[in-house]
Structure formats: C-alpha cells, structure tokens
Chains A and B, each alone.
Chain A
Amino acid sequence: MVMSASPTDEHRPSTGRYLDQSKIQAALDQAQDLGASYAEVRLMAITDSSVALRDAKLERAIPGQEVGVTLRILADGAWGVHSTTDLVSLPSQIESTVRLAKAVAARRSSKDRPVQLAEVPILEDEIHWKPKQDVRNTDLQTKIDHLNTLHNSAADDDRIISVTCGWSDEHLHTELMTSEGMNRVWSFQRSLINASVTGRDGGEVVSYRTRHGGEGGLEVIEACDLGELGESARIATLRLLKAERAPSGKLPLIADRDLTGVYIHEALGHPCEADLVAAGDSCLAGKLGQTIGNDIVSVVDDPTIRGGYGAHPIDDEGLDTREKNLIQNGVLTEYLNHRESAHHFGIEPNAGARAQDGLHHPLVRMSNTLIKGGTHNDVDELMEDIQYGVFACGSRGGQVDTGRGSFQFAAQEAWLIENGEITRPLKDVSVSGLTLQILKDVDGLTRDARLAAPGFCGKGQTVPVGDGGPIMRISQALVG
C-alpha cells in the first residue's frame, strides 16, 4: 500500500514516537555522507475533529487523524525537500532529495549567496503543553451541546434566517530530528468555536460571523460565555440590516481590538517576515533601527502567550519560542526570522519558523501579534476630538502587498462618528493604506491591549494566529 506506517491505535503509538529514531538517524547520517550540510526530518501527527450545526441540526462531524513527514536537506547551499504520508518510504528518499538540493545549487550563479543556517542550541527533549481538559476526550454530544448554546442565542429573532455553528479542535504532535543532533518532541492543542449568522429583512440580506478559540483543550471553549457570544452576533446582524453604506474617502478611523489586530498583522507583521525581506518583497527592507511609526506604537509577536490561537512552545526548526519586539516606540527593532533568514541578515534567530503541517516546509510566520496599549482610557476618549469619522469593528479579513507596502482589511460592522459621538451604523467598511504612512498616523491607543478573536493566516500555507491590541485611532485612513 502506498499509504502506510501511520500508527494503528487511535491516538499515538505505544512508544510515544512515530519516527523510528534509529532508522531516521541512519538516514540523516546517510544524507551527510552524500554531501548534505544539514538534514532534518519533521513529523506532525494531527488528531482533529470538526463539527458543524446548521440551524441546530448536526450538519457534519468529522474525526480524523493525519500524519505527514517532511525531509529537508541543505546541500551545496540549496534546499531539497521531500514530503509524504508514507513514513516508511522516507529513508529511501534521502539520495534523491540530496540530488535535488544539489541540482538547485548547480543552477545558482556565483553571485547568489548560498543558503546557510544561523547556529542554534541543539536540544534533545520533550515539551508537552498539557491542556486542562484534553479535547480528545471530549465526546460529540458535549460539542453539540456547546454549539446549541451558541446557536440558540444567535438565532433568537425572526429576522435571523440561518445560523451555522462550527467547532474544531486539534491535538498536534511534532517530532524533529536533525543531522546536528536536535531531537525534540512537542505537543499542544487548539480549540475553536464559531458562528455565522444570516439575517434577512425584506430584500436585505446580511451576515455576521463570530469566533472564539485558542491554544488549549475544552477549557478554552468553556471559558467563553457562548450565550453572550451568540447574542452579540445576533444583535450585530440585526444592526447590519439597518446599516447604511459607509462614506468613502480619507477619514479618521477608530478600530476595535479585532480590527487593530488584523491591521497590525497585515500592515506590519507580514512585511516584517525576514524571508520576504530577503526576497526583496518587503517595504521594510533596510529599515531596521529606523523610525517607521508614531512613538506610541510598540508591537510584539509572541508565541508564548498561552491561550493565544497562534501559541506554540517550539518553532518548526526546533527553537524555543520567544517574544519578538517588532516595533518599540515607533522604531523597527526586529524582523521575524527563521534560521536561514537569520543567517542572511546576521541577526539572532528568533524562532519564527512555522509549517502548516507535516507535509509542508517551514516559512517565517507570525504567531500572536499585538500592539501594546497606550494612554487613552477608553473609546470615548479616542472619539471626542473626531468631527467626522468611522468606528470600525470586527474583522472580515485582510490582505497585504508586502513589496509595495499596501494593505487592505475589511470590518464586519461600523458606526459613523459625528462630533465626537457615534451616530449611525454602517456596513461594508474596508480600510486600505500604505504601511509606512499609516503607522505614523496611529495617534491614539487605549490602555488595555489583549488578543482578540482567533484567525488564520495564508502565505501559501495556512496557520492559526492570534492578533489583537487595544482600541486604536488612526488620524487619517482611506475608508471605502
């Protein structure tokens, strides 16, 4: 059978390891014998479950387990990669993958810098972030009960024509062995619940979605007042039915925590990824140490914030994760990096490597990204000077062109601000701008920074992230 060698018990093999360490060590040794300067085998086993209710009826429940493994080999300064669900075939791929790396290297010109990796501590250990309530032990009925609580609250109005509620949880187990002697195993869990609410009033149809989730097991869901989450989604949906289209133009903007998080993720986080900087695809190239934003702006990316949806103990190159200070008081202080980009720039590796799963190689990615709090007490204080502007809340997502430094993000709902006060509800608000301009235009932040709703980030691969911050005011943004 082509697909084979995953564990046959329901959760994990009796040894606690999926990889046969002696065989993998022999394969890594073989890679070096064939001329590899570095080789790694990274396996991810994901035990997951997703459940969806549509109008309180079980639409689908899908339990699953996937195991993938990626062999990454650096030879002659270039990468060769092989990924497979067929674990036992991996040792037989060493020779061809070394050959692949060398073939890439042979096509480089003499002016191209060979890939090298920054040195890191070589560790052999296991780190398991234990959830308080292992989500693998949560039965389907419990999940359905929680989803029903969310549904019942969200659907409680005749104008709500449909509510779809979703649940997903995953237990992630990773094993990494490298030719340098790294041999680490780590695991953690994520849990998420969401609702999509559709409202109709005559010919007007609107939708609103809400999410709660984070790193951890069932306790993540149980920490949330699902009735309140559903109620706020219902109220927002009904408000959107009466909302007007947003004005267009350059306007003062206040963003809630969700939108602030998406803003900083798109506008700053992506251009800070050192692999993009090295590829010549970031507007922040050459700007380390320079002032790029208002001095009230400080930004961190921190995978160690337990409970954040982007939290993880070890990055996918085997480094202990840590907080990264991307901007301190307006000054760009740090790129997110992985070992290759850290060496490229001659900077300290900061554990920014993440892969979507066992079948993908690691890229530089964000984790939990947030703007630190400022000095304003509340949103009223931020609004009091605004004659005509927009208060935008909730995120429908965003996108960035890292090279140009232009970005766009969309709000779920918004209000018009007139003479320092909220007046009418608005819909379909999007905000766009240029990173290097708009960071300077942030002129107000409330004190209370924290992560907002969980999200997903795409960069060829999709990874869960947490974003957030305080409530933020931008003196002038292009609102559409």
Chain B
Amino acid sequence: MLPDDALDRITEGCRTIGKICQAQGIQQWEIVATQSYGHSIDIEAGKIALAAGGGEGGYGIRVVEDGRFGYAYLVDLGSADYALKQARDIAKVSPSVKGFVLPSEQTAKKVGGLFDKNILSIGPEDLLEQADAILSEVASLDDRAVVTGGGLGVGASATAIYSSEGIESSGVTTSHGMGIQVSIDADDELTSSYEGDSSCQRLPNVPDCIAVAVDWAQKTRGPIEVNSEAHDTPVLMTSEGFSPLFSMVVPTAIRGDRLARDESFWSGKQGELVLAGDLSLIDDGRMEGGRSSSSRDGEGVPTRRQTLIENGRLVGSMWSTRDAAQQVAEGRIDHAETNGCAVRGSHQSPPGTGCADLQMVSSLKSSSQDALLERMEDGYIVHSVMGAHTANPTSGDFSVTSSTLLRVEGGQILGPVKQAGLSGNLAKALSQDVYLGDDVRIQGSYSSGNMHLPDVLLMQGLRINPA
C-alpha cells in the first residue's frame, strides 16, 4: 500500500526545503510533510457500491522571524521557493509575538501500537471480502436488516517534521476503520442505526459494532406513547450518543488560549470544582495504540499524559507554543508554555491547540448498564443525537434531536420513543450527579483527537421533549 521509500522521500523533501530556508537566511523554520495511501469500499443499499484507492500528500512550511510567523503549503517541491516567499511575506505583516520561538529538540519516546504491518498487506480484494462478511453478518442477524450506507477502509500515512531547532522526526502510522448504517424498513416503519469502529491495528473481520448497529435498529422499532410534555429528566447517554456533544463542547473549553481569553465557560476557574467531584479528565498523547497519539505533537514537542481536571477541579489546560507565547505577551496570563498539545489537520494548516486521546474517568466504581438504569429509575437512554455540531462550545448549551432513544421506568426499559428533543447545558450537567458505565469505547470528535468514553448517566440538568 505505502511505497517502501515513502518515508525516505518525504524526509528528503523536508531536508531539501530546509536547505533552501538556510540558504535564504530564515531565522527559524519548520517543515512538515505527509503522504497517505489507502483503499476504501463504499456500501449502499445492501451492496458494495464502489472500490477506491489512492494517495495524497504535501508539505507545510512555517517560518518565524522576530516573533512573526508565516505559513504556506505546497505539493510539488519545485514550488518551494515560491511557497517560502509567500510565507515570509506573510510573516512580515504578522504581529510580533514577544517570546514566540519554535520549539527546540527534546528527546521523545516512541509510542507503541500506532503501526500494524498487517494493515499494509490488506489489499482491495481483502477489503471486498471484509465488506461481504459484514453484509452477510447483518443479514444473518436479521433478514430484514440492510446496510444502507457506510463503508470501510485501510490507510497508511508517512509523516515527517524537520526544523531549524534540531527537530528531525518521521514515522508511519496505519489505520483500519469502518462505519455502517443499518436500516430495517418493514411494516411501514423504518428504523436505523449508525455504528463504527477504527483502530491503528487491524480490526476483526466483523467487529462488534456490526451487531450493535443491528441491535439498535431492532430495539427502536414499535415506538411507545410517552408523555409529550417537555420535562427535566435523568438521561443515560451511551458512549456513542454522548461523545458528539462532549467532543463539541469540552475539548474546546479546556484549551489554554480559550481559558485565558475568557472564551470558555471554565475561564477564571483554575483550581475550582467544575465537574462532579469524582470525575477527572485526562488527555493522553502517549496512549499505546491511541488513534491521535504520537511521540511528538504537531510541532515536534514530545507528547505527554496530563490530567486537566482532577476529582472535579480544573488543574490544567492545553497549550501549543504560539498560543502560550501570545497569551503571555498580551498579559492575559503570567506564565504558559507548550505542553505538547499542538495539533494539525494536515500539512495545509499550521498547528493549533487541541487534545489527543481524551478520557473522562471516575474515582467511583464504574457501573454496568443495568446498575445505571437501576440508579436512574425513570428516564431515557439516548444512543445517538442529531445536531450535536450545533451545540455552543462557548456556553455549553445544546439542543439536539434523537430518534434512537428508549424510555426507562422503574429501572426497566419500557420501549423506544419515536423522536424527542434533548436540551441542556453540558458543563452544568457534568458538574452535578454523574455516573459512568464500565465499558469505555473510543469515539471520534468534532474538534480534535479521539474521545474515550463509557456510557454516562446524567441525573440532572437535561430536558427531554418527546415529539
């Protein structure tokens, strides 16, 4: 999948651009390169719709002169001179940030589990076989169930970073992922569920998420009538239902620059209780096999595992080099420095600040779903929400809709509800009675990184509005 010399080529490309930077006498410079290859299969209407493959990549150049930075990106090394000129021209009109310099080389320990050579040998035929296996599994679980959309894919990505400050690092990561929508359209009723899984390691041919998708498409059939008045209620949000809201609101709120600029609902609350007293928030940039983990962050600084909220108290925040220097220079904070939280979308953008593999944990004993239901007594289980991206990360307020929810009474599941609105303030809800399940699952994110979350029972602060 990935050419044997891909890593050497992009590393050499970085050096070539670095030499041009040196020849031009640029004070500080940083070159990043990515080159990705992969295969993918699209599934529609219960059959394989297409098979695709390919690769893409490019270089990003950041120059820093007297605290001013400029950025440009390119695909072809032949246009490096022009890109460098653009980056330097931009630096000239950028504000000088006192104290902003590119990070120096520090030793970084390797993070394991980010590469699986078995993935490199997965070809299109293997993926087609896996797609067939998934389609067969869905049909065997319920002959009414159809995979109406989604797909699967494998990829390998070579990345390199090379800077004037002595950083020279490169590596290859792999990925294997899938996401499928299963629908059951029978007896004038259509129900569906979307589930996915991804890993740096090769996934099983038929991951557990396939059965989960069929299960939710089945158990949301035959909706029951419920009180249609909007009311405050406990809600057990599955990891899948909770993570879109959590990832839209929480990682942004804990960015150092947002906190310093009063743009977070946790601004001015360092050391204070902001979550329920048993909850902690940990960003682990060094998690073995973590989908967003790596030995170095987006600007070459060694990553770390850090506690951001400890037993409910805000004790940390996330910083990249420039954000830290800027907030100090502007007098918003006395001291800040990078803690390895620089993230990049691709070579096309300079680093920003964000989390890697974010976990919410409790010091209390975690509970099975049955135990959580018993504690909840009356309420709802919400497994997916529509409109999580409309949640307000500045305030934590949200108002979303779910068509994948179950009514619970006396700790027992009564049946599915056709549709309901769900609203509240996530920050406030997480600061009250919260109980975590015992099965942590990895979810994607609307902001950065990956979310490692169990089912979450929110006893207060949410309102449900059945259709």
Contact with A along B28-55 (1 / 0, CB 8 A): 0000000100000000111111111111
B72 vs chain A, min Cβ distance (A)? 5
Which one of A314-322, A329-337, A395-403, A466-474 contacts B?
A395-403
Whether the Cβ atoms of B51 and A2 lie closer than 8 Å is no
Contacting A248 at CB < 8 Å: which of B261, B390, B465? B465
Whether the Cβ atoms of A104 and B190 lie closer than 8 Å is no
User: Does B166 count as interface, using CB distance less than 8 angstroms?
Assistant: no
Whether the Cβ atoms of B390 and A140 lie closer than 8 Å is no
Whether the Cβ atoms of A104 and B350 lie closer than 8 Å is no
Instruction: List which A247-289 residues lie within 8 A (CB) of chain B.
Output: 248-249, 275, 278-281, 283
Known contacts: A1-B13, A65-B75. The answer to whether A428 contacts B56 by CB under 8 A is no
Contacting B49 at CB < 8 Å: which of A5, A60, A79, A248? A79
Q: Which residues of A contact B83 (CB under 8 A)?
A: 63
Instruction: Report the interface size for chain A: residues with CB under 8 A from the other chain.
Output: 85
Whether the Cβ atoms of B77 and A1 lie closer than 8 Å is yes
User: Does B170 count as interface, using CB distance less than 8 angstroms?
Assistant: no
Contacting B70 at CB < 8 Å: which of A2, A6, A61, A432? A61
Whether the Cβ atoms of B190 and A404 lie closer than 8 Å is yes
Residue of A nearest to B77 (CB): A1
Instruction: List which A420-449 residues lie within 8 A (CB) of chain B.
Output: 427-430, 432-434
Instruction: List which B358-404 residues lie within 8 A (CB) of chain A.
Output: 386-387, 389-390, 392, 394-395, 397-401, 403
Q: Which residues of B contact A61 (CB under 8 A)?
A: 70-71, 90, 93-94
Q: Which residues of A contact B54 (CB under 8 A)?
A: 70, 81-84, 359
**Interface size for chain B: under 10, 10 to 19, 20 to 34, or 35 or more residues?**
35 or more
Whether the Cβ atoms of B149 and A279 lie closer than 8 Å is yes
B153 vs chain A, min Cβ distance (A)? 12
Which one of B287-295, B300-308, B416-424, B435-443 contacts A?
B416-424
- Alpha-carbon distance between A200 and B265 when the two chains are bound, in angstroms: 10
Contact with B along A209-251 (1 / 0, CB 8 A): 0000000000000000000000000000000000000101100
Q: Which residues of B contact A60 (CB under 8 A)?
A: 71, 350
User: Does A379 count as interface, using CB distance less than 8 angstroms?
Assistant: no
Q: Which residues of B contact A6 (CB under 8 A)?
A: 75-76, 79
- Alpha-carbon distance between A7 and B78 when the two chains are bound, in angstroms: 9
Can you add 20 more A-B contacts, CB < 8 Å, to A162-B261, A207-B392, A432-B401?
A2-B9, A3-B57, A5-B76, A6-B76, A8-B76, A58-B93, A58-B94, A64-B72, A65-B75, A80-B51, A82-B52, A85-B75, A162-B262, A249-B229, A279-B44, A279-B49, A396-B390, A399-B386, A403-B181, A480-B465
Q: Which residues of B contact A (CB under 8 A)?
A: 3, 6, 9-10, 13, 35, 44-58, 70-79, 82-83, 86, 89-90, 93-95, 124-125, 128, 131-132, 146, 148-149, 181, 183, 185, 190-192, 229-230, 261-265, 267, 348-350, 386-387, 389-390, 392, 394-395, 397-401, 403, 419, 421-423, 463, 465, 467
